[in-house]
Structure 1
Amino acid sequence: MAVRLNSQIAKVVLMVALLLVSLQGFVWHRLLQSHHDQGHEHPMLAGARGLSSRRETIIGSQEDVRENNNNQQQQQSRNRLPDERRLHRRRQPSIEKQKLSLNIHPPKVATARTVSPYLKHPLFEGKERLLTILHEAHFFNDSAAEFFQDDARVEALAKQLPSWETVTNRLGGESPVIEGLETCETYQKLVPPIDRFLGVAGLFATGTNLLASLLVANCQNDERIRAGLGAGVRWQVNWGKHSPARYRMENKIDQKLKNEIFLPVVSIRHPYSWMQSLCRQRYSTHWFHNAKEHCPNLVPNDIDRKWFKFVQKYGKRGVKSLYNDPWLSDNLLDTANFTLDSEVVPVRVRYKSGTLYHDSLPDMYNSWYHEYLDADFPRLVVRLEDLVFHAKEVVTKVCTCMGGSVRDDFNYITETAKVGDEHIHGKQEDRTNMIKTFTKWHAENRTKNMTSEDVAYAKESLDADLLKMFQYSHPSKENP
């Protein structure tokens, strides 16, 4: 009896609970309907909807960012192509990646960086030209005004810079020297615009890296750009930048290109400065010498003969016990046909295309450049010194010779590029080295470690016509 009663009570309780739930739902519905009719939203519902709204906002913003990034990537991808037609989408050689758009050169923006008001600073009288070059190379960073407010820095810079008169005395004149401009018309007639290439060449230690950097950063073949084929500027000619001109048709770096379509741009350097540089880094040029005691050594003396006898007696082990540096020891171990009877120090040069022998370093210099100067194909020869002091003018004339165009806002190179033994561009310390480079050209002792016999031999053996062509003179007391 009791069990039946409990069961009935449980049923009643369940029915009441269901009734209450139904009633509560009805009340909520009426309440929400009432708020809706009055244009309001229930606070609890508003709170819940606020959380949802914030979540949607966050998700939406993330999607907007992703969409924006995708759009930017797509736009950047489109901008890499040369024009709206985008006819050629093939991969370009790495050397020309930076030249795939006609609009790669950003427009100049007027800033407060101008150095013009300070060109009349009394400490820079006669040095205005160098001050302008430093400004164009962004030496003063964001503001020349800020720099010139620091008297200590201004005085230090003024002391380091040579006068322009000193520079021109060293260079042999006010204007840059470019040999071969008369061949530009011939080159443009022989090679169709879309096939034209500039390629760099030059002896070791003559600024080929700087020349290539300047050309790549500032010059482009517009016809090739429009066709999506790259800028038409290579770091070296297709037969190798250090190879003599005789190998022009015997060697190929890029098998797909004809060597004849390259316009060689050859760098040359003052021969005495060049020989001094080789003493610091000889590359694949071999001649018997002790770089620390007698170099450049054109005419052997007692020092050379002493070391030759030492090598003959003690050999490789003896030399390396004194000089652990492989470069220093190799200079002595590789005699390059030198003997105790040699009247001058002979030279052997190993190129990728072959090995050549010369009577001396001056003979090597004469021979290498005459092969290009006497060639029957178009070519240009520019001076390394002009790449430092007349970079914009030289690059403009070279680029025009090919039929190309030069960027309006000339780039003095923001990456490091060797100028002999200096790195003159890039970070602030590299830009400081640009000043050292200016100083170097007028302060360098071009006959350092040379004997009077060496200097006399150089004057006799270096080709006088070659030196005159590039306004190079033999060192003197007035111009060492």
Structure 2
Amino acid sequence: MLPLKDTEMHNETNDEQKQEPMAEVEDDERGHILEIFKEAEVNLTSDQIEALPTWSQVQEVVGTHPYILNLESCARYRELVPPLERMLGSAGSFNTGTNLVTHLLKQNCEIPERREKCGPHESKECYGMRWQVPWGKHTPAKFRNQHATEKAQKIKKEYILPVVTMRNPYSWFKSMCHNSYAARWRHGKQDTNCPKLKDPDVQRWNPVTVRYGEGREDDHASLAHMWNDWYGYYLNDADYPYVVVRMEDLVFYPKETIRQVCECAGGKIRTDQPFKFVVESAKKDSPGHDKTTGIYEAWIKYSKPAPAMGGFAEADFLDSQEALNRTLMKLMGYRHPPAA
């Protein structure tokens, strides 16, 4: 379990966020959603419009506001890091929207002092928006001081504000079952045989081993424990500033989420252009990744209520409730799916 002090600290942050002015709830209409797609310059057919959820349906599934953890560390980051050295970089486990948050930051956020020094028409990195944290976006924070990517050898890690992405664990399980990246555990590809949190023969947790670059390995009791552990390295162990955002909020509340993250590092949302949405798949430039989920597909996919037991076998559903960190689930506004 995460320490109780974290629960108290982060719940206070979320209470402040609830006071943010949010779009008016619409029970039967899609007007607010259509305005978002219009702003994103996405033209929809009548059939696509009919398939969209209502705004109240979206809010029922993902919540009425973005969830951002550790905003209270922003002031410390701005105090510690000079404006010309401030940078943001994505971090997150596999399949959690690291590409999406990077594209949104690069297109919409900049550190004013860095832009003034670099001048116009320079790279987004020059303006403080990096592709990832120096130790690698998928590499756990426990290896922060042991590894640096090739392009970040000379960067001071304390100058980077990690923007950590998280995803509903049940949705994340499905993605990991279909593309496990460097994670290895005994399981089948079909939902009925995955995530297979326990070995049914001995009723013990089914261990997961993840091999990162340069021979670094991390072991977890199960896939659910991997979700707990990866984010616990930040919430329990990090003594430096960082923020945690939900992938779902990057889809449904991108402007609100990116604004708060950008301002956390002393940045500003660009005023010389409209807000830029990520319309096509954020992974379109990444070989070997699924490129089929653009903004419209994401709205359809992630606004659906969770199926009974998350669509998994009863054993995995019950084991998930036992294994997943309740405090972390609550802090991020995630709920267990309904029982059958």
* Structure 1 length-normalised TM: 0.59
Contact 2:220 2:226 survives alignment (8 Å): yes
CA deviation map 1:340-361 (0-9, x unaligned): 5462211001112510111101
Q: How many Å separate the matches in 1 of 2:186 and 2:257?
A: 37
1:359 aligned residue: 221
Larger helix percent: 1
1:411 aligned residue: 276
- Seen in structure 2, the aligned counterparts of structure 1 residues 214 and 225 have a Cα distance that, compared at 3 Å, is same
Q: CA deviation at 1:195?
A: 0.4
1:402 aligned residue: 265
1:180 aligned residue: 70
Map 1:260-279 → 2, pairs under 5 A: 260-279=158-177
> Which residue identity is paired with 2:76?
T
Q: CA deviation at 1:193?
A: 0.3
Q: CA deviation at 1:405?
A: 1.3
1:225 aligned residue: 115
Contact 2:185 2:208 survives alignment (8 Å): yes
Contact 1:267 1:381 survives alignment (8 Å): yes
Q: CA deviation at 1:449?
A: 5.5
Answering whether residue 45 of structure 2 is matched by residue 134 of structure 1, we say no
**One of 236, 256, 281 as aligned partner of 2:132:** 236
Answering whether residue 253 of structure 2 is matched by residue 390 of structure 1, we say yes
Answering whether residue 114 of structure 2 is matched by residue 251 of structure 1, we say no
- Seen in structure 2, the aligned counterparts of structure 1 residues 468 and 394 have a Cα distance that, compared at 3 Å, is same
Map 1:7-86 → 2, pairs under 5 A: none
Q: How many Å separate the matches in 1 of 2:290 and 2:260?
A: 26
Q: How many Å separate the matches in 2 of 1:175 and 1:193?
A: 29
Answering whether residue 235 of structure 2 is matched by residue 373 of structure 1, we say yes
Q: CA deviation at 1:442?
A: 2.8
1:456 aligned residue: 318
> Which residue identity is paired with 2:208?
V
Bigger shift: 361-370 or 346-355? 346-355
CA deviation map 1:62-85 (0-9, x unaligned): xxxxxxxxxxxxxxxxxxxxxxxx
1:161 aligned residue: 52
1:170 aligned residue: 61
Aligned length: 297
Map 1:275-290 → 2, pairs under 5 A: 275-290=173-188
Q: How many Å separate the matches in 1 of 2:300 and 2:130?
A: 30
Q: How many Å separate the matches in 1 of 2:207 and 2:182?
A: 14
CA deviation map 1:283-334 (0-9, x unaligned): 0010111203511211334xxxxxxxxxxxxxxxxxxxxxxxxxxxxxxxxx
- Seen in structure 2, the aligned counterparts of structure 1 residues 177 and 220 have a Cα distance that, compared at 3 Å, is same
Q: How many Å separate the matches in 2 of 1:449 and 1:345?
A: 19
Q: CA deviation at 1:460?
A: 1.0
Q: CA deviation at 1:453?
A: 1.4
Contact 1:207 1:418 survives alignment (8 Å): no
Contact 2:170 2:310 survives alignment (8 Å): no
SS where residue 199 of structure 1 aligns?
A: strand
2:327 aligned residue: 465
Q: CA deviation at 1:157?
A: 2.7
**What residue ranges of structure 2 are gaps of 5+ in the alignment?**
1-25, 119-124
CA deviation map 1:222-269 (0-9, x unaligned): 211222281111110001111111111221221121111000000000
**What residue ranges of structure 1 are gaps of 5+ in the alignment?**
1-121, 141-146, 148-152, 302-339, 425-432
CA deviation map 1:380-422 (0-9, x unaligned): 0000000000001111111111111112310003553149956
Q: CA deviation at 1:129?
A: 2.1
- Seen in structure 2, the aligned counterparts of structure 1 residues 210 and 402 have a Cα distance that, compared at 3 Å, is same
> Which residue identity is paired with 1:438?
W
Return the structure number with greater relative CO, CA threshold 8 A, min gap 6: 2
Bigger shift: 188-197 or 343-352? 343-352
> Which residue identity is paired with 1:439?
I
Q: How many Å separate the matches in 1 of 2:280 and 2:105?
A: 13
Bigger shift: 218-227 or 231-240? 218-227
Q: CA deviation at 1:131?
A: 1.0
* Structure 2 length-normalised TM: 0.82
Q: How many Å separate the matches in 2 of 1:193 and 1:436?
A: 38
Q: CA deviation at 1:461?
A: 1.0
Q: How many Å separate the matches in 2 of 1:406 and 1:367?
A: 33
Map 1:317-332 → 2, pairs under 5 A: none
> Which residue identity is paired with 1:398?
V
2:88 aligned residue: 198
Q: How many Å separate the matches in 2 of 1:385 and 1:255?
A: 32
SS where residue 198 of structure 2 aligns?
A: coil
Bigger shift: 341-350 or 174-183? 341-350
Q: How many Å separate the matches in 2 of 1:214 and 1:459?
A: 33
Q: How well do the aligned residues superpose, as a CA RMSD in angstroms? A: 2.3
Contact 2:310 2:317 survives alignment (8 Å): no
Q: CA deviation at 1:444?
A: 6.4
Contact 1:417 1:423 survives alignment (8 Å): no
2:196 aligned residue: 297
> Which residue identity is paired with 2:210?
V
SS where residue 79 of structure 2 aligns?
A: helix
- Seen in structure 2, the aligned counterparts of structure 1 residues 394 and 448 have a Cα distance that, compared at 3 Å, is closer
Q: How many Å separate the matches in 2 of 1:139 and 1:369?
A: 34
